[in-house]
Structure formats: structure tokens, C-alpha cells
């Protein structure tokens, strides 16, 4: 079968009567042409069945249409689902993604960023939390972070404080003897600290007996199981007969804790009420569906890519106008009641 000849800029120029320079401007700086001329060239591309040579375009203008993404791990269902939603934005924005998993090692992530920069990425989405935003800002690249310290870069986050209030209020409505929040040690600069603040404020306002347990919960199943087993042993020792309302920092950790309870008792005991955070798939797929505070992961991913694309598009203009200040978008969470708290109904 005879191979079809590739259509070149020269072919398009002859077909339209424009110069090759004008055709090049259509691809690299279309705003410099009138709408009428853009339409003429666009129609010619269809008529000639033009297929864009991506490599040639990259060599010509340095625009790779690549976005780098760094996530801390994929054990946590939140990160895997967020990555899934980010990748799905290709249909809307047309950008491809180069993804690295940092496993919470700052030096490793710095090497990954160097690698991404060598691929001439146009922007960067960061979910990992090891590298300070001040250092990220010094890359002089459009960057959007999700759920991490973000003082010097743009970000999209959930309203974690509201989520903490929602989870705690749900547990309080069941008249638990003590409310307990389980979380990793978290700096107030991290958006997820709002979960802790929301929990403590509700407990203080309602004069509820409460405790925050800080523990490195780990990022692998074995490490999570070990840490949460130790916490369960402590709760059994300190509050053996009391009704316990547990707000756990993520659905992944909540599911591991739920499994430990089921392994020990064969079911979720009557004196345990459990709320997670994220509304990741694991919360509905658990042996006993877990009540949770839902994050609009699809919306967060879309807003993050959209905010990044705005910055990247601005840089492509003849006279770009840099952001006067960083943009921080906050997405409202939602409460989902499931069987780990609805035992009384």
C-alpha cells in the first residue's frame, strides 16, 4: 500500500495563498492573525487532511504540551484517585502528563523535578509535601499544588476545617463518651491541619471529652497496620467500656482500622463509631461501608489543571502578565453517612 505523503507548511501555504511565515504564525501564535485568516487556514487543514508533527512543533517553539505530576505514594486511595482524575483532563485541555511517585523522599523528588525540567515540561502539579513551596517557586515555572503547604505557589484544596466540623458533629450526634481524632503529626501550614482544628473547635464548643492521637501512620499497608494496631490496643486499654467516636484522617487508614476491629471481634463493635475522610472508593468498597467526609476529587483535579493551564497560556503571550499574587482555590466538602455511624437508625 502506498504511503500517504505528509502535508507540509509549504503545501498549506500554496493551498491558501499565504506565506509559510503566516502558516507558522497560525500554529505558534494564532492571536497574531485575524479571525478570517485563522478560519481560512483551519479549513485548509481539514481539506488537506493535515496531521500535526508533534516533534517538529516542539523543536520549533519549545512547547512540549507536557505537565509534570509528583505524588507522594499510590497506597493512599486519595492520591491514586486524584491522579486518575488529573489524567482524565487530557480530553478537555490536551496536555499529556509525566508522573513520578516520590515516596516522601525530598532528595528523590528533587531528582524527579530535574528530570521533568529536562523534558521541557510547561507546568507542574505537586501533591507531595516534602519540598517547601518557596523552593518550588524558585523554579520559575507554572505550578499548582494540591493539599500541601502552598504559601508561595498557587493551589487547590478542600475546605478541611469544614470537613473536620462535619465529621466531628456527626460523631457528637451519637452521644459518644469520648471523641478521638487520629492523624499524622501535621503542621498548621498544611491544609489538612484544618481537620484537626475543626475537630478540636467542635469539641471545645460543645464541651465534649476528646483526644487527638498523633502518630506516623505510614504509607504502606504493613506500616499502617502496625501503627493502627498499637492505637487500637491503647483505646481498648484506656476506654474499655466507653462509646468511642473515631474521626480518622483518611479513608485508607479508616479502612485498615475497621479491618483490625473486624479481625478482632468479627464485626464493628457497638461501642465504636467511625468516620474517615476523602470519599475515596475504598470507603464504599469496605466490608462495612465507612461514613466519610467527601472531597470533590474530580472538581479539585479539574480546577488544578485549569489553573495551571491559565498560567501556561499566559506565558505564551507576546506580553505575558504574571500573576500579581498566588491563587488559592478552596472546594467545599460534603458529609456522607454510612454504616459505621448509622447503627442506631
Alpha-helix runs per DSSP H in 53-101: 54-61, 77-88, 90-93
Least confident of 43-47, 111-115, 256-260, 341-345: 341-345
pLDDT at 1: 41
* Stretch 139-145: mean pLDDT: 95
pLDDT above 90 (res 152): yes
**Contact between 98 and 67 (Cβ < 8 Å):** yes
Measured distance CA(45)–CA(158) in Å, rounded: 43
Q: How many CB atoms lie within 10 A of CB 27?
A: 17
Instruction: Report the chain's mean pLDDT, rounded to a whole number.
Output: 90
Q: Is 9-61 in CATH node 1.10.357?
A: no
- Domain 160-296: assigned CATH number: 3.40.50.2300
pLDDT above 60 (res 62): no
pLDDT above 90 (res 10): no
**Contact between 99 and 69 (Cβ < 8 Å):** yes
Q: Which of 230, 286, 281 is nearest to 255 (CA)?
A: 286
pLDDT above 60 (res 344): no
Residue 31 banded pLDDT, cuts 50, 70, 90: confident
Cα atoms found within 13 Å of the Cα of residue 284, Cβ hemisphere only = 6
pLDDT at 45: 85
- Domain 66-157+297-331: assigned CATH number: 3.40.50.2300
pLDDT at 120: 87
Same topology, domains 66-157+297-331 and 160-296? Answer is yes
pLDDT above 80 (res 130): yes
221-238 vs 251-265: helix axis angle to the nearest 10? 60
pLDDT at 11: 87
- Whole-structure pTM value: 0.78
Measured distance CA(231)–CA(274) in Å, rounded: 14
Q: Is 68 helix (H, G, I), strand (E, B) or coil?
A: strand
Q: pLDDT for 47-59, tens place per residue?
A: 888 876 554 455 4
Q: pLDDT for 165-212, tens place per residue?
A: 999 999 999 999 999 999 999 999 999 999 999 999 999 999 999 999
Q: pLDDT for 252-291, tens place per residue?
A: 999 999 999 999 999 999 999 999 999 988 999 999 999 9
Sorted by where each begins, the domain ranges of the chain are: 9-61, 66-157+297-331, 160-296
Amino acid at each position: 500500500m502506498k504511503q500517504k505523503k505528509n502535508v507540509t507548511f509549504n503545501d498549506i501555504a500554496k493551498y491558501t495563498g499565504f506565506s509559510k511565515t503566516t502558516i507558522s504564525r497560525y500554529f505558534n501564535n494564532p492571536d497574531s492573525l485575524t479571525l478570517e485568516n485563522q478560519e481560512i487556514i483551519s479549513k485548509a487543514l481539514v481539506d488537506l487532511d493535515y496531521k500535526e508533527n508533534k516533534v517538529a512543533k516542539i523543536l520549533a517553539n519549545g512547547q512540549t504540551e507536557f505537565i509534570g505530576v509528583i505524588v507522594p505514594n499510590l497506597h493512599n486511595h486519595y492520591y491514586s484517585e486524584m491522579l486518575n482524575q488529573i489524567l482524565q483532563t487530557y480530553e478537555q485541555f490536551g496536555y499529556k502528563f509525566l508522573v513520578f511517585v516520590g515516596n516522601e523522599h525530598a532528595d528523590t523528588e528533587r531528582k524527579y523535578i530535574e528530570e521533568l525540567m529536562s523534558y521541557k515540561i510547561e507546568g507542574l502539579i505537586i501533591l507531595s509535601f516534602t519540598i517547601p513551596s518557596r523552593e518550588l517557586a524558585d523554579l520559575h515555572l507554572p505550578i499548582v499544588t494540591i493539599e500541601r503547604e502552598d504559601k508561595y505557589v498557587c493551589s487547590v484544596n478542600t475546605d478541611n476545617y469544614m470537613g473536620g466540623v462535619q465529621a466531628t458533629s456527626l460523631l457528637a450526634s451519637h452521644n459518644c463518651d469520648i471523641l478521638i481524632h487520629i492523624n499524622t503529626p501535621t503542621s498548621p501550614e498544611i491544609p489538612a491541619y484544618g481537620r484537626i482544628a475543626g475537630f478540636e473547635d467542635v469539641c471545645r464548643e460543645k464541651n465534649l471529652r476528646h483526644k487527638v492521637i498523633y502518630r506516623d501512620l505510614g504509607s504502606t499497608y504493613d506500616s499502617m497496620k502496625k501503627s493502627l494496631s498499637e492505637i487500637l490496643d491503647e483505646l481498648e486499654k484506656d476506654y474499655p467500656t466507653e462509646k468511642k467516636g473515631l474521626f480518622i484522617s483518611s479513608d485508607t487508614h479508616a479502612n485498615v482500622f475497621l479491618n483490625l476491629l473486624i479481625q478482632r471481634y468479627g464485626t464493628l463493635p457497638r461501642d465504636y463509631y467511625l468516620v474517615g475522610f476523602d470519599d475515596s472508593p475504598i470507603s464504599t468498597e469496605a466490608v462495612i461501608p465507612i461514613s466519610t467526609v467527601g472531597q470533590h476529587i474530580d472538581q479539585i483535579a479539574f480546577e488544578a489543571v485549569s489553573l495551571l493551564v491559565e498560567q501556561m497560556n499566559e506565558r505564551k503571550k507576546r506580553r505575558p502578565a504574571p500573576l500579581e499574587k498566588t491563587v488559592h482555590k478552596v472546594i467545599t466538602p460534603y458529609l456522607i453517612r454510612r454504616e459505621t455511624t448509622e447503627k442506631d437508625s
